[in-house]
Amino acid sequence: MYENRSMWMAELPLLLLLAFQGTPSQRGLKALDEKRYQDAVTELNSAIAADPKDYGAHFNLALAYSLLGKDADAVAEYKKTLELKPDLYQAELNLGISLLREKQGGEAIPFLTAAVAQKPKEYRPNYYLAEALLAAGDAEKAESHYKAALEADPKSAAAELGLAHALSKRNELADAAPHFQKAAGLDPKYRDSLLELASLYEGQKQAPEAIAIYQQFPENAGAQERMGELLLESGKPADAIARFQAAIEKSPTTANRAALAAAYLKNKEPEKALPVVAEILKAEPNNYDIRMLHGRILRDARKFSPAAAEFYRATQVKPDSAEAWSELAGMLVLMENYPAALTALDRVAALHAEKPGHVYLRAIVLDKIKQLKPALESYQRFLAVSNGQSPDEEFKARQRARIIERELSKK
């Protein structure tokens, strides 16, 4: 993390070069001191036009550009300064910082390395070199310079966080964790870095450690949602419910409401899940996933007619969903609405999503409506494709096939 523009002001005394009263260079320095940075640019460009080899004017112009946030222009001027005055420490350091701000960490490394060589015990060159090395992918070297920066300033939250990042990049999460914690303790604005640590714990499948961090952020809806999901995955739906409820209070999103409904279901409280899902559908009537979830809750509560209505609505939202047509077919069979069930099964077949269970269901429907020959064909086809996957259904299919064969042979 780079310092804000006020950091550049600390460098102003470095090159307050002697200049005659009223010269462009003097007026440029005065403008810098008064924070009139654009005026400083104008005056310093005039000074350079009069003397292109005035490295002080180039440096101060670079500083003005930096303070204006024009780092690309600053880079060019710092480089010109170093051409005219090689090894100027402050130009090397500032050039490295400007390159970092331009997301050019690799290019910043040689300049910051030179700055560290001149002042190896100083905080700033070590910190920014560490940042450049980390940006360039060299976490090992970055680690050593973050440590050097912390030796110079043990209370630097930025360096602590940088060291945490370097260690985590090397998959040394156990070593990185204390530095995340210390950064948060040193400066409240770094507290959210603990959420990054929690995410890293999740990546390492260390759910209890992640949950412990999320517990520290009761005001953060996202943290409460993640904690709820981890609790749900850990087989603690009752605990997850409270977290999702807290998340909804701060951020009543569809995702949070759906997660709460899922938690109720896992906690065997479908009656509590129903109003949550219904609330979502009021706002988003064409939400396919929630329609399907609502249908399944109703199905499991053995409310077949409302469930069938929900699955039908899902097919209208997403006509190419074999899953919705399949669920609808199942409900229609249980409701003994066999012609409509056949239509739904035909849609599954047309979508090339027919499975052995669908073939078996088709056989049952045809059997129920006394279409014996096609029913027999479906039973036989089911037995051919099931191949031992559903032994109970296969037993029933064989029995019915034999009975139908006998009945057909009498005709």
pLDDT at residue 311 greater than cutoff 80? yes
| pLDDT of 10 | 43
Task: Note whether residue 384 is domain-resident.
Answer: yes
Residue 252's pLDDT band, with cuts at 50, 70 and 90, is: confident
Q: What is the 3-state secondary structure (H, E, C) of 209-237?
A: HHHHHHCCCCCCHHHHHHHHHHHHHCCCH
Task: Note whether residue 69 is domain-resident.
Answer: no
Q: Are residues 333 and 359 in the same domain?
A: no
| pLDDT of 355 | 95
Nearest to 253 by CA among 290, 204, 304: 290
| pLDDT of 122 | 97
pLDDT digit string, tens, across residues 46-73: 999 999 999 999 999 999 999 999 999 9
Q: What tokens does 276 get?
A: 């949550």
pLDDT at residue 74 greater than cutoff 90? yes
Last residue of a domain, one of 347, 373, 389: 347
Rounded to whole angstroms, what are the CA distances from 260 to 111, 246, 405? 54, 10, 52
pLDDT digit string, tens, across residues 101-124: 999 999 999 999 999 999 999 999
Q: Are residues 320 and 339 in the same domain?
A: yes
Task: Note whether residue 178 is domain-resident.
Answer: no
Q: What tokens does 9 get?
A: 């002001």
Q: Are residues 334 and 363 in the same domain?
A: no
The rounded mean pLDDT for the chain is 92
Q: What tokens does 319 get?
A: 């006509």
| pLDDT of 75 | 97
Which distant-in-sequence residues (6+ apart) come within 8 Å of 257 by Cβ?
248, 276, 277, 279, 280
Residue 20's pLDDT band, with cuts at 50, 70 and 90, is: very low
Task: Note whether residue 382 is domain-resident.
Answer: yes
Structural domain including 308 reads: 285-347
pLDDT at residue 367 greater than cutoff 80? yes
Q: What percent of the chain has pLDDT over 90?
A: 84
Residue 295's pLDDT band, with cuts at 50, 70 and 90, is: very high
C-alpha torsion sign, points 109, 115, 118, 121: negative
- Residue predicted with more confidence, 19 or 107: 107
Q: What tokens does 168 get?
A: 């985590």
Last residue of a domain, one of 347, 376, 398: 347
| pLDDT of 17 | 40
CB 263 within 8 A of CB 246: no
Q: What is the mean pLDDT of residues 282-303?
A: 92
CATH number at residue 331: 1.25.40.10
How many folded domains does the chain comprise?
Answer: 2
Residue 153's pLDDT band, with cuts at 50, 70 and 90, is: very high
Q: What percent of the chain has pLDDT over 70?
A: 95
Task: Note whether residue 127 is domain-resident.
Answer: no
Residue 148's pLDDT band, with cuts at 50, 70 and 90, is: very high
Q: What is the mean pLDDT of residues 286-300?
A: 93
| pLDDT of 5 | 43
Task: Note whether residue 338 is domain-resident.
Answer: yes
Burial, 53: exposed, middle or buried (Cβ in 10 Å; 0-12, 13-18, 19+)? exposed
pLDDT at residue 239 greater than cutoff 50? yes
pLDDT digit string, tens, across residues 172-204: 999 999 999 999 999 999 999 999 999 999 999
Task: Note whether residue 309 is domain-resident.
Answer: yes
pLDDT at residue 13 greater than cutoff 50? no
| 3-class DSSP state of 261 | helix
User: What distance in Å separates the CA atoms of residue 248 and residue 243, rounded to the nearest whole number?
Assistant: 9
Last residue of a domain, one of 347, 378, 393: 347
| pLDDT of 22 | 74
Residue 411's pLDDT band, with cuts at 50, 70 and 90, is: low
Q: Are residues 361 and 409 in the same domain?
A: yes
Q: Which of 8-12, 291-295, 361-365 has the lowest mean pLDDT?
A: 8-12
| pLDDT of 14 | 38
Q: Which of 140-149, 275-284, 313-322, 357-366 has the lowest mean pLDDT?
A: 275-284
Q: Are residues 369 and 339 in the same domain?
A: no
Task: Note whether residue 320 is domain-resident.
Answer: yes
